[in-house]
Amino acid sequence: MKTFVFRNNTIENLFGTKDTEYSGYDDISRVPADASEYIWCYQVAASPDIKLLTNEVQSYWDKFLLVYKQIPEEKDIIACTIVDVASISYISDDFSLRNAAADFNRQLTEFASSHSNVKVADMDEFLCQYPRKDWTDWKYFFISQMIFSPQLTLPFRKWWKRKTEEFSLRRKKCLVLDLDNTLWGGILGEDGIDGIKIGGDYPGKAFLYFQKALAELVRCGVILTVCSKNNEPDVLEAWEKNPFMVLRKDSFSAWRINWNDKAGNIRELAQELNIGLDSMVFVDDSPAERELVRQALPMVEVPDFPDQPYRLPEFFRMLVERWFRIYSVNDEDRQKTAQYKANAQRSEAKAHFTDFNEFLKSLDMELTVRKLDEFSLPRVAQMTQKTNQFNLTTRRYTDGVIKAFVSEGWIIYTLSVNDRFGDSGITGAIMVTPDGRIDEFLMSCRVLGRGIESAFIRRVLSMLRERGITRVSAEYIPTLKNAQVKDFYDRCGFTLTEEKDGIRHYEAVIADLNLQLEDYYHIR
């Protein structure tokens, strides 16, 4: 069994039955231990008795806590907020039922903020898209106690799929933006800095709203880039001098402002930032440019741009809900723009060196290797969910699962990288079982290309030897995105012991490996 659902109505139409089991109505007597995850979906029942409904809702929180106490810490429970689906209000100033539901939702969100294995799904976010009269089909309710109309089944499952991606911290990384008639109204080369529409009356105020919204997206960890056919000096001057401009030079991690084709420019941006094209979304007002990118780069998402500026708010909402919303953010996410800009500066500096080792020495790199702690745990869990390119096994773990590993004696180290261009934050992790098996080794793409991955594993192997571990084993599990690390353990001196279906198994005696670090890596 994969999922177990606690419910007080028939909701099989929402979550399906494949690999899913349901409790009896309002039955919390059984919490199956073999479930991979749990869903709590109690809703206000359909009854004309408001007092009865209120008392029932007031009892839900204690029932939820009883269930939660029986769920292992390493397993997630997704808890749906309560929505009053079908009650009838007889007295306008009687808020008893509404307050009971609000109290449950408040307690739930507060509880989730301090319990990492509890995720909250806001049912109102989904239902508010539809008229209240469409929430319940009374024919199906009276036949089978189905509280939500069958007509909501397909849209709910699409919405739920996106919510589970949010819970797993999966989203696109980069928004690629055009400028003229996209971030402002008009054409900079023709209308000039003072003539483009940004701020003031409509349509300028619509573009101002769009820029403010994009600035909030940056604060949530999304990186912005520019791909525009324009004269770069004109754009740089506009960013500096137009008083209404919200997004300025420092808002963008990289840009291509020239007259080259945009598909080629986007490829260059992906290469400069060291991210996959499939992590990018391209926004441009020109249908011709959008079609060019769709044809040349099918892995890049290219939404249609609104035909009128007043549609920009709903367009932005669509961008967020489809590609960029995430369940929670941490300090690492908030520093993304600065970190990727620093990467671009490193690439520029590298071009001035003919000797790669001299370039590495010039970076003045400081690598900090630490044991996992409560502060780095959420970041490590996030990396297991999101890291694809430099990920030897691509196993996805939650906070709770990693906590359980630590309690079982696993050795988990994190890596932070800092150099003269800036702090890249926690960008690497190695997870080793008590018997010396490297279960997970991953690095953020932001720090690749500087030999840091080799320095990290050598340092960790030295630390393992100091702990009395003399032999290690490891494996490489191929995916569509991690081919670049196929021979990583070979390059580290490990012995290939078996290969089947692309999966490679390795062993190594630590004392036989070269653990010497180059002097330009300063280890803390």
Q: Which pLDDT tens digit goes with each residue over 9-30?
A: 999 999 988 889 999 999 999 9
Residue 23 within any structural domain of the chain: yes
Q: What is the mean pLDDT of residues 244-257?
A: 93
Residue 450 within any structural domain of the chain: yes
Question: Is the predicted pLDDT of residue 229 greater than 70, yes or no?
Answer: yes
The pLDDT of residue 134 is 92
- What's this model's pTM, rounded to 2 decimal places? 0.75
Is the domain of 498 the same as that of 404?
yes
Q: What is the mean pLDDT of residues 43-63?
A: 89
Which residue has tokens 């690439």? 347
**Please, what's the b/e burial string for 137-162 (b: 16 or more CB within 10 A of its CB; e: otherwise)?**
beebbeeeebbbbeebbeebeebbeb
Question: Is the predicted pLDDT of residue 88 greater than 70, yes or no?
Answer: no
Radius of gyration of the chain from its Cα atoms, rounded to whole angstroms? 27
Is the domain of 34 the same as that of 94?
yes
* 346-396 residue pLDDT tens: 877 787 888 888 888 888 889 999 999 988 998 899 889 888 889 999 999
Reported as a pLDDT band with limits 50, 70 and 90, residue 520 is confident
Is the domain of 300 the same as that of 241?
yes
Beta-strand runs (E) in 207-311 = 223-229, 254-258, 280-283
Instruction: Please indicate whether residue 142 or residue 48 has the higher confidence score (pLDDT).
Output: 142
Q: What is the CATH number of the domain that holds 160?
A: 3.40.50.1110
Is the domain of 466 the same as that of 494?
yes
Q: What is the CATH number of the domain that holds 434?
A: 3.40.630.30
Residue 508 within any structural domain of the chain: yes
Phi then psi dihedrals of residue 262, to 5 deg: -75, -30
Average pLDDT in the chain? 90
Is the domain of 182 the same as that of 320?
yes
Residue that terminates a domain, selected from 296, 329, 362: 329
The pLDDT of residue 425 is 85
Question: Is the predicted pLDDT of residue 62 greater than 90, yes or no?
Answer: yes
Question: Is the predicted pLDDT of residue 506 greater than 90, yes or no?
Answer: yes
The pLDDT of residue 158 is 93
SS3 (DSSP) at 415: strand
In this structure, are strands 495-500 and 503-509 parallel, antiparallel, or unpaired?
Answer: antiparallel
CA dihedral 198, 204, 209, 213 (to 10 degrees): -40
The pLDDT of residue 96 is 85
Structural domain count of the chain: 3
Is the domain of 158 the same as that of 179?
no
Q: What is the mean pLDDT of residues 283-288?
A: 94
Q: What percent of the chain has pLDDT over 70?
A: 98
Residue that terminates a domain, selected from 329, 364, 391: 329
Which residue has tokens 């080259």? 260
The pLDDT of residue 445 is 81
Q: What is the mean pLDDT of residues 500-521?
A: 92
Reported as a pLDDT band with limits 50, 70 and 90, residue 114 is confident
Residue that terminates a domain, selected from 293, 313, 329: 329
Residue 493's domain comprises: 354-523
- Could you tell me the CA-to-CA distances from 44 to 94, 129, 135, 287, 363 in Å, in that order? 16, 19, 13, 47, 60
Question: Is the predicted pLDDT of residue 172 greater than 80, yes or no?
Answer: yes
The pLDDT of residue 338 is 76
Residue 343 within any structural domain of the chain: no
Is the domain of 374 the same as that of 514?
yes
The pLDDT of residue 493 is 94
* 458-496 residue pLDDT tens: 999 999 999 999 999 999 999 988 988 999 999 999 999
The pLDDT of residue 1 is 58
The pLDDT of residue 448 is 83
Residue 255 within any structural domain of the chain: yes
